[in-house]
């Protein structure tokens, strides 16, 4: 019998919270698993056998866990050293390679993953890219990899050889966005025809056409996720080397996800603690704003369950999780319930087993 399990990294606690999701979206809390200080980005292997989580406090490490196929419980496999702090991780479609993006180091990395699920060290590749690398993902074909550079306003483009695990810069090597866009996270349409990149600083989602033969991204359109009348102003890159400024009214978008059928897109904004919904035109890749709903305070991370019926949202400044039911016709969100979380919750992964 299939079961659905939710994993949430709690940075300030250094733990991963585990939950079981019922058919109606309600959560039952389970064990909290020690993962290390400032545990933040996570990723699940394509075969759903392993979960990976990065500790962003020194010494930088990536922790590997085996997922029990019957219970969803996490069993530690070990931690591997990292060369830098990683703001984002993902796996290629084979599950044999771990990609990482270092915001502070302005680079992306590739690590090999063994058959036992453990991450090899040192990195196979360390590639400098534009300032503030914020995410990296392979496309659905596993032939191309893209990386968002927030400070460089660019999507870096790579060809990927899954046999060797090496990235090679594509030609051209970047798809450039307007100055001040600040691309943060992005997601690929299930049919691999379009890529959607969320602007942290302007609150827009840019639609790109993905050329299946060349791996090139071509901008189609850009749509604001902010509601009419919003008083938020464009933000600026943050970090220890950024000049001091008042950020209380900044646009500060965080995460982006598609429903499994690719018809609805959701994004989070942290200053207002809101989730936004957009309709996807599967033929053209264009987006239409639908509406918004409040969620947990400072929602850095959220996820959509594999059925496409529920969103689980965490908040860095909230110690609860929200489950929202998705109205597939309107994109509206209905609160199912709130559940105990941890301190500094920031990343959500949801896995269906069985």
Which pLDDT band, with edges at 50, 70 and 90, does 242 fall under? confident
Mean pLDDT within 72-83: 98
Name the class of domain 3-353.
Answer: mainly beta
Domain layout of the chain by residue ranges? 3-353
Using one digit for the tens of pLDDT, what is the confidence trace for 86-117? 999 999 999 999 999 999 999 999 999 999 99
Which pLDDT band, with edges at 50, 70 and 90, does 240 fall under? confident
Q: Which residues contact 243 (CB under 8 A, 6 or more apart)?
A: none
Q: Are 205 and 248 in contact (CB under 8 A)?
A: no
Backbone angles phi, psi at 25, to 5 degrees: 90, -10
**What integer pLDDT is reported at residue 83 of this predicted model?**
96
Using one digit for the tens of pLDDT, what is the confidence trace for 148-167? 999 999 999 999 999 999 99
Task: Work out the widest C-alpha separation in the chain, in whole angstroms.
Answer: 54
Mean pLDDT within 200-212: 98
Using one digit for the tens of pLDDT, what is the confidence trace for 26-52? 999 999 999 999 999 999 999 999 999
Whether 77 has a pLDDT exceeding 80, the answer reads yes
**What integer pLDDT is reported at residue 228 of this predicted model?**
85
Using one digit for the tens of pLDDT, what is the confidence trace for 266-280? 999 999 999 999 999
Whether 130 has a pLDDT exceeding 80, the answer reads yes
**What integer pLDDT is reported at residue 1 of this predicted model?**
74
- To the nearest whole percent, how much of the chain has pLDDT over 70? 100
Whether 245 has a pLDDT exceeding 90, the answer reads no
Which pLDDT band, with edges at 50, 70 and 90, does 147 fall under? very high
Mean pLDDT within 313-323: 97
């Amino acid at each position: 019998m299939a079961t659905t399990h939710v994993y949430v990294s709690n940075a300030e606690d250094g733990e991963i919270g585990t939950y079981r999701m019922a058919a109606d979206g309600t959560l039952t809390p389970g064990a909290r698993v020690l993962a290390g200080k400032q545990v933040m980005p996570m990723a699940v292997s394509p075969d759903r056998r392993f979960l990976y989580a990065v500790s962003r406090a020194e010494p930088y490490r990536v922790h590997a866990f085996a997922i029990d196929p019957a219970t969803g419980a996490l069993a530690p496999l070990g931690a591997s050293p990292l060369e830098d702090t990683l703001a984002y991780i993902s796996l290629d479609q084979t599950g044999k390679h771990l990609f990482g993006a270092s915001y502070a180091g302005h680079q992306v990395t590739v690590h090999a993953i063994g058959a036992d699920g453990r991450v090899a060290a040192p990195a196979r590749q360390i590639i400098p890219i534009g300032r503030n690398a914020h995410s990296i993902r392979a496309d659905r074909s596993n032939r191309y990899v893209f990386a968002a550079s927030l400070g460089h306003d660019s999507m870096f483009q790579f060809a990927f050889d899954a046999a060797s695990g090496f990235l090679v810069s594509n030609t051209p090597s970047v798809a450039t966005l307007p100055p001040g866009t600040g691309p943060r996270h992005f997601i690929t349409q299930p049919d691999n025809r379009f890529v959607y990149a969320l602007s942290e600083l302007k609150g827009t989602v840019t639609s790109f056409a993905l050329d299946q033969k060349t791996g090139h991204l071509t901008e189609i359109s850009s749509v604001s996720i902010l509601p009419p009348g919003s008083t938020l102003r464009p933000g600026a890159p943050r970090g220890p080397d950024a000049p001091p400024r008042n950020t209380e009214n900044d646009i500060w978008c965080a995460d982006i996800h598609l429903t499994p059928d690719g018809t609805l897109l959701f994004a989070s904004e942290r200053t207002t603690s809101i989730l936004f919904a957009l309709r996807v035109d599967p033929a053209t890749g264009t987006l239409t704003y639908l509406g918004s709903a409040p969620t947990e305070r400072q929602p850095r991370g959220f996820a959509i369950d594999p059925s496409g019926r529920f969103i689980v949202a965490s908040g860095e400044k909230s110690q609860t999780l929200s489950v929202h039911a998705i109205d597939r016709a309107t994109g509206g969100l209905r609160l199912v319930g709130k559940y105990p979380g941890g301190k500094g919750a920031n990343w959500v992964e949801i896995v269906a087993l069985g």
